[in-house]
Structure 1
Amino acid sequence: MRNLILHNPRCSKSRQALELVQARGIDVDIVEYLQQPPTAAELAEICDLLDISPLQLMRTQEALFGELGLSRDNGYSDAQWLAVLAEHPRLIERPVLVYNGKAAIGRPPENVLDIL
């Protein structure tokens, strides 16, 4: 997977993580994932790099999660959660940095430093 950051410019944590990366002169593709949603396959690869399940990449506290009638214990398979994330990118935890075959969720933003 290429070096990238799943970024939402309206999110302060996302902006802070991007600033940390750029301040170190690191070149990554900035993917505004609300405009360019990752595919289910790309999200699966990110989950593998993070060593988490797709459900752990989901913003379960986001109002949309409840509006869609989703529940953490609804019995969805990983493939089903990946499909939900791909269809509703607003539910993707942000920011996510992928760099040199590693990934980190930037919450707090300093977490991205662990893989640089």
Structure 2
Amino acid sequence: MTVRIYHNPRCSKSRQTLALLREHGVEPDIVEYLKTPPSATEIERLLTLLELEPRELMRRKEQEYRDLGLAEISDRGRLIQAMTEHPRLMERPIVVNGERATLGRPPEQVLEIL
């Protein structure tokens, strides 16, 4: 089964998580989600696997979050759409292994799904 990481190479936690996977013999499928944003369907799947609500997957301190007024929006579809249009809003890194997923915060958390 392929392990996938939704990765931002500029993020230290994302780099640490990728290095940890490799240290454990895992060469993941790397999705640089800022270059290749996930679709709304993909985000829905990630939310299901992570057992999170959209806002829980969002980086609420990002300027886009404030600029888009997302704190006042409760509609699930609109929050997911905001992440597809502004992938920087997504928390990172996300690691998926089959039907299991986790956030790499802290990076060691990904070891639970390997």
Q: TM bucket by the smaller chain?
A: over 0.9
Distance 1:26 1:46 in 2: 20
Is 2:35 aligned against 1:35?
yes
| RMSD of equivalent CA atoms | 1.5
Name the structure 1 match of 2:84: 86
Name the structure 2 match of 1:107: 105
Aligned AA for 1:36?
Answer: T
Distance 2:51 2:75 in 1: 16
Aligned residues with identical type, % of pairs: 47
Q: SS in structure 1 opposite 2:111?
A: helix
Q: Out of 74-83 and 7-16, give the one that drifted further.
A: 74-83
The unaligned stretches of length 5 or more in structure 1 are none
User: Could you give the per-residue CA deviations for residues 64-115 of structure 1, whole angstroms, max 9, x where no partner exists?
Assistant: 21122221xx242221111111110000000000012100001111111111
Distance 2:23 2:65 in 1: 34
Name the structure 2 match of 1:96: 94
The TM-score normalised by the length of structure 2 is 0.93
The unaligned stretches of length 5 or more in structure 2 are none
The TM-score normalised by the length of structure 1 is 0.92
Q: Out of 100-109 and 31-40, give the one that drifted further.
A: 100-109
Count residues with an aligned counterpart: 114
Structure 1 stretches (4+) deviating beyond 4 angstroms?
none
1:26 deviates by 1.4
Distance 2:107 2:63 in 1: 23
